[in-house]
Amino acid sequence: MQKTLKRYFPIFVLPTLIAFAFAFIVPFVMGVYLSFCSFRTITNAQFTGVRNYIRIFEDRDFLNALWFTVKFSVLSILTINVISFVLALALTRKIRGTNLFRTVFFMPNLIGGIILGYIWQQMINAVLLRYETTLVANAAYGFWGLVILMNWQMIGYMMIIYVAGLQNVPTELLEAARIDGANGLQTLFRVKIPMVMPSITICLFLTLSNSFKLFDQNLALTAGAPSKRTAMLALDIYNTFYGRSGYEGVGQAKAVLFFLIVAAIALGQLILTRRKEVEQ
Amino acid sequence: MKQKYKKAVTDGLIFAILCVLVAAFLAPVAFVILNSFKGRLYISDAPFALPNGETFAGLANYQNGIEKTDFFRAFGYSLFITVFSVLAILFFTSMTAYFLTRVKSKFTAGLYYMFVFSMIVPFQMVMFTMSKLANSLRLNNPVGMVILYLGFGAGLSVFMFCGFIKSIPLEIEEAAMIDGCNPLQTFFGVVMPILKPTAITVAILNAMWIWNDYLLPYLVIGLGTKYKTIPVAVQYLVGSYGAKDMGAMMALLVLSIIPIIVFYLASQKYIIEGVVAGAVKG
């Protein structure tokens, strides 16, 4: 069977492979190479070694963006996961209106980042208007605005993953805990949380990678204002590419560094989960 | 008895808190809808007030927003790109996944890992080179966008289809082959129907992402052409008129979320199941 199928390679694989090469393979390889070059358009690239990587640290933009991104990600991961887990607990109690609550909480997840960003920009500015200030007057407003926006968008998504996890906890286990005299908190920490560990891992990974790579929301909400102080990594890379002429190579070098950070996080997460799976 | 009473009180309390939260979740959307009906000069005066006789502007903002961005055209291009990209992804990546799972060689294994690898690479890594390449290949039009989305969606989709195809017993396909089916007939007649649940998940995950995607169409197609999608049109309006015409912006934001909410309410069950399945497998 393999042999006959092999002959159908052009039909089964080639169309996907060609599109994949256009969208990913060729740009990726070119991107790695160009990060070692000085260029304005791709055709006049000149090899300059690691100069671009050194120039990244000429100013503090990249490090500021990295620090902002880390702060934002840590805070978002904590708040989103705690709130969505609590909501999931509430929605698995079989109270009235559960379906309606779930529908509403999940809805923001489907709205695109650009549109979400502008909705919240209008909303936050309307609130700040009472204090005669605006979102871009202070970097702290932008930071908290992004955290609130991210919570609004991701809580429902994480909540339904936790609901699915909690519903898979065997009822016999909960019964046994009750008969043994465990109270609500003991059941939560000794039975429910250990049983939904796989869901927690997934949610931590999703919130981490979504916060770390955030772009659209950042662009729409503050676009980095005031003076780049609310720009996250992805936006900083974008600005380096398209905002400053002569910095294309530096932008590409930043992008490679960004990729390496994201890959290291993904790999670390994978190793951690593998280890846990072995233990179980 | 006491236990039961206690549970009823707790549930009542939780219900009340959830109601407050629902209101908080809906507030931003309500806020935008409210202001979309006010005259543009009144929006910043009292942003939380209901429109009254003086400030009510009827559908003027909507008319304005639609004209300035050519909204229905943008809607059409968004729809075209999303629908055909999702169809192309379903059709081609399921075939690719089938081939990669059933033909065992170093080449197929390498290709599979390349698809998986592409999932962790952030878009910023390839955005500059990809948009230059797309322009030189003349992919800066809706059909070109479908090709690019097929390439970008391939990673996750091949990965998810492969995961499912691995669990299909080989005997079914072998029986079809013995009955004289060629690989194409086997795939479309036997394998494809079994793939349906995964196909729904793949379709939903890709549709949600492609419909809302901003950077790829912006970089490849740009602001200057008639092929703007909805997110690009929103950014275009704000970039050029934002500060001056808040009314049109509010109306456009409302118009942009209406299709999503209609689609969501119509196929909520599939969306939520698909998202859970996608998260667990991804």
Taking only the tens place, the pLDDT of each residue in A56-78 is 898 888 999 999 999 999 999 99
Residues of chain A with CATH 1.10.3720.10: 59-279
Interface-testing mutation among B17, B113, B118, B126, with chain A (most A C-beta atoms within 10 A): B126
Is the N-terminal amide bond of B142 cis, ω within 30° of 0?
no
Domain limits, chain B: 2-59, 70-241
> Do the chains contact at A20 and B118, CB–CB below 8 Å?
yes
Tell me the backbone φ, ψ of residue A46, rounded to 5 degrees. Answer: -125, 130
pTM for this one?
A: 0.91
| pLDDT at residue B243, as a whole number | 56
Give yes or no for a contact between B237 and B69, defined as CB atoms under 8 angstroms apart: yes
3-state secondary structure (DSSP) of residue B74: helix
- Other C-beta atoms closer than 10 Å to the C-beta of B81 total 25
Which tokens is A29 given?
Answer: 């390889």
Smallest Cβ–Cβ distance between A96 and the set B15, B28, B99 belongs to B15
Within 201-230 of B, beta carbons closer than 8 Å to A belong to 208, 211-215, 230
Of how many residues is chain A composed? Answer: 280
Q: Burial letters for B132-141: b for 16+ Cβ neighbours within 10 Å, e otherwise?
A: bbbeeeebbe
Q: Which residues pair with B38 in a beta bridge?
A: B56
- A152 contacts on B by Cβ (under 8 Å): 25, 28
Interface-testing mutation among A12, A18, A80, A201, with chain B (most B C-beta atoms within 10 A): A12
Crossing angle (nearest 10°) for helices B268-281 and A197-212: 90
CATH match of A59-279 with 1.10.3720.10: yes
> Do the chains contact at B234 and A114, CB–CB below 8 Å?
yes
- A248 contacts on B by Cβ (under 8 Å): 128
Fold exhibited by the domain B70-241: MetI-like fold (1.10.3720)
- A90 contacts on B by Cβ (under 8 Å): 14, 17-18
What is the interface pTM, i.e. ipTM, of the complex? 0.89
List, for residues B224-255, the tens digit of each pLDDT value. Answer: 788 899 999 988 888 765 456 788 888 999 99
Within 221-240 of A, beta carbons closer than 8 Å to B belong to 233-234, 237-238
- Judged by average pLDDT, the poorest of A64-73, A185-194, B88-97 is A185-194
| pLDDT at residue A1, as a whole number | 67
Which tokens is A177 given?
Answer: 């805990």
> Do the chains contact at B21 and A122, CB–CB below 8 Å?
no
